[in-house]
């Protein structure tokens, strides 16, 4: 057998034994299976929503959505964003955070480095062992969910397995940071804490950008609507002035003194709402500028950061379409059919979604992997140059 294959195999077996010794690997695997069981225990039928053998009658039934949509939605709304993205990721980080610090600890690294294996290959193989075992956890969860969908809804949905590369990509951004910190500090706890801190920072950045984007688009919608509103108020005021003229009455000023014929502020004087509409337009212009500036600043920071939320949202883009969901998303967003489809909230939400959708898969993964490449490259460089 080729020596490189032999060494890679030995490193993977060793990593498995290390994880096995920590028990966390099997604990996480057990929790994954428990999550699948919970997933399987929930259901929907003609009468309503069911948990194990009990059905809770209500409007939430198969008239609202099909069983297939229910399980896909359950996977997308609970399985990926809550279980895989948070719970399982934290457990995975805890289990794998020690891989690099343990490798470089005194007394461990010397015998390994004195073997005929290059440092770059050694470091990257160790990094890959972390990803491999996390991938195994996601695989187990995905297979479980696939079987639940097959048995409970009678649908064969291979798209569920997209969760493996997508969640693994998401985890790899964090694991690159964890490996760098672990290498520099040689401490598992520090690596874990700083990685979680980084993760929270990226999350806050995402939320912040979303807030700014929403505010910018709210201002944009107000700006679009403002000329129409002003025009309507002007029309109303002009009509009223003409009415007064026909009645031979003077136009009353704001302080009660009649205005001379043709006064510049006669429209505002007769219709104070017009003034309010104009000042709202000025406010909207100012707000748009302010939020645009801040949004572009946050975007610039975000550009070089891994796109954790967007990466995970790639799964929903591919797994479920709007036709399948029908009016469900609107209902969840508090928008029902009786609402005006041109309501500002809905338009803002659509515009924000439009901006998000413009961010291509290439942009999301390209910039995120770019970040990972830089962090991992830096860690590899440190590992290669360091004296142990």
Partner 1 sequence: METVIDVSGVDKMFKRKVHALRGVDLQVGAGEVFGLLGPNGAGKSTLVKVLLTVIKPTKCDGTLLGHRIGNKSALREVGYLPEHHNFPKYLTSRQVLRYFGAMCGVERKERNRRAEELLEVVNMSNWATHKLGTYSKGMRQRIGIAQALMNNPKLVILDEPTDGVDPIGRRDIREILTRLKDEGRTVFLNSHLLSELEMVCDRVAIMVHGLMRQQGTIEELTKGQSGFVLKSHTPIEQVMIDSVTQAMKGVECSWETGSNTIRLSTSNTDSVQPAIDTLRSKGVVLDSFGFQRPSLEELFIQAVNEDEGGATPGATKSGKRGQA
Among residues 46, 59, 110, 247, the one that binds partner 1 under rule CB under 8 A: 110
Count how many residues are written for the chain. Answer: 388
Part in contact with partner 1 (CB under 8 A); list of ranges 113-121, 173-181, 217-225, 303-311: 113-121
6 binds partner 1 (CB under 8 A): yes
d(CA 208, CA 295): 9
DSSP per residue, 199-265 = HHHHHHHHHHHHHHHHHHHHHHHHHHHHHHHHHHHHHHHHHHHHHHHHTTPPEE-TTSPEEPTT-TT
Give whichever of 104 and 284 is closer to partner 1, judged by the CB atom: 104
Nearest to 195 by CA among 93, 307, 308, 125: 93
Residue 161 φ then ψ, to 5°: -70, -10
Minimum Å distance from CB 2 to partner 1? 9
Among residues 63, 114, 321, 360, the one that binds partner 1 under rule CB under 8 A: 114
**Under 8 Å between Cβ of 341 and 138:** no
Among residues 26, 37, 57, 118, the one that binds partner 1 under rule CB under 8 A: 118
3 binds partner 1 (CB under 8 A): yes
342 binds partner 1 (CB under 8 A): no
Among residues 27, 117, 206, 238, the one that binds partner 1 under rule CB under 8 A: 117
Minimum Å distance from CB 30 to partner 1? 20
Among residues 47, 115, 245, 359, the one that binds partner 1 under rule CB under 8 A: 115
120 binds partner 1 (CB under 8 A): no
Neighbours of 101 (CB within 10 A): 23
Part in contact with partner 1 (CB under 8 A); list of ranges 101-109, 145-153, 251-259, 328-336: 101-109
Neighbours of 58 (CB within 10 A): 10
24 binds partner 1 (CB under 8 A): no
d(CA 319, CA 162): 8
Give whichever of 112 and 143 is closer to partner 1, judged by the CB atom: 112
Interface pattern 232-271 for partner 1 (x via CB under 8 A):
----------------------------------------
Give whichever of 60 and 132 is closer to partner 1, judged by the CB atom: 132
Q: How many CA atoms lie within 13 Å of 284's alpha carbon, on the beta-carbon side?
A: 17
Among residues 26, 201, 299, 388, the one that binds partner 1 under rule CB under 8 A: 388
Give whichever of 6 and 77 is closer to partner 1, judged by the CB atom: 6
Among residues 13, 151, 263, 361, the one that binds partner 1 under rule CB under 8 A: 13
43 beta partners: 50
Among residues 111, 248, 262, 362, the one that binds partner 1 under rule CB under 8 A: 111
Residue 237 φ then ψ, to 5°: -65, -40
Give whichever of 118 and 228 is closer to partner 1, judged by the CB atom: 118
**Under 8 Å between Cβ of 79 and 330:** no
d(CA 306, CA 312): 11
**Under 8 Å between Cβ of 160 and 319:** yes
Among residues 7, 32, 95, 266, the one that binds partner 1 under rule CB under 8 A: 7
Interface pattern 136-175 for partner 1 (x via CB under 8 A):
----------------------------------------
Among residues 87, 109, 147, 162, the one that binds partner 1 under rule CB under 8 A: 109
- At a CB cut-off of 8 Å and minimum separation 6, what does 33 contact? 140, 144
Among residues 29, 113, 355, 356, the one that binds partner 1 under rule CB under 8 A: 113
For the chain, helix, strand, coil in percent to 5 are 75, 5, 20
Calculate the alpha carbon distances from 207 to 175, 204, 253, 302 in Å: 22, 5, 48, 11
94 binds partner 1 (CB under 8 A): no
Minimum Å distance from CB 193 to partner 1? 24
| Binding interface with partner 1 (CB under 8 A) | 1, 3, 6-7, 9-10, 13-14, 17-18, 20-21, 105-118, 385, 387-388
């Amino acid at each position: 057998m080729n020596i490189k294959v032999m060494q890679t195999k030995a490193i993977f077996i060793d990593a498995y034994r290390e994880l096995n010794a920590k028990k966390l690997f099997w604990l996480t695997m057990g929790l994954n299976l428990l999550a699948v069981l919970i997933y399987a225990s929930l259901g929907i039928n003609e009468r309503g929503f069911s948990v194990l053998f009990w059905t809770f009658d209500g409007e939430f039934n198969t008239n609202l959505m099909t069983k297939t949509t229910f399980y896909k939605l359950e996977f997308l709304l609970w399985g990926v964003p809550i279980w895989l993205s948070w719970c399982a990721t934290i457990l995975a980080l805890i289990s794998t955070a020690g891989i690099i610090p343990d490798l470089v600890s005194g007394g461990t690294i010397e015998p390994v480095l004195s073997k005929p294996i290059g440092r770059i290959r050694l470091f990257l193989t160790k990094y890959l062992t972390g990803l491999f075992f996390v991938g195994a956890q996601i695989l187990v969860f995905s297979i479980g969910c696939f079987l639940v969908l097959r048995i409970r809804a009678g649908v064969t949905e291979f798209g569920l397995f997209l969760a493996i590369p997508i969640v693994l990509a998401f985890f790899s951004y964090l694991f690159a940071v964890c490996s760098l910190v672990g290498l520099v500090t040689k401490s598992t706890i520090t690596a874990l804490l700083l990685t979680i801190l980084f993760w929270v920072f990226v999350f806050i950045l995402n939320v912040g950008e979303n807030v700014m984007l929403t505010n910018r688009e709210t201002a944009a919608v107000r700006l679009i609507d403002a000329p129409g509103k002003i025009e309507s108020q002007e029309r109303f005021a002009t009509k009223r002035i003409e009415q007064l003229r026909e009645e031979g009455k003077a136009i009353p000023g704001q302080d009660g003194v009649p205005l001379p014929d043709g006064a510049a502020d006669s429209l505002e004087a007769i219709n104070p709402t017009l003034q309010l509409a104009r000042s709202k337009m000025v406010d909207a212009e100012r707000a748009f500028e302010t939020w645009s500036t801040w949004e572009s600043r946050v975007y610039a920071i975000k550009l070089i950061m891994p796109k954790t939320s967007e990466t995970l949202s790639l799964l929903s883009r591919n797994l479920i379409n709007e036709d399948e969901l029908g009016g469900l998303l609107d209902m969840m967003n508090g928008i029902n059919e009786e609402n005006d489809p041109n309501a500002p909230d809905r338009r803002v939400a659509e515009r924000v979604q439009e901006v998000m959708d413009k961010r291509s898969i290439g942009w999301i993964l390209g910039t995120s992997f770019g970040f990972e490449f830089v962090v991992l490259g830096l860690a590899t460089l440190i590992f290669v140059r360091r004296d142990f």
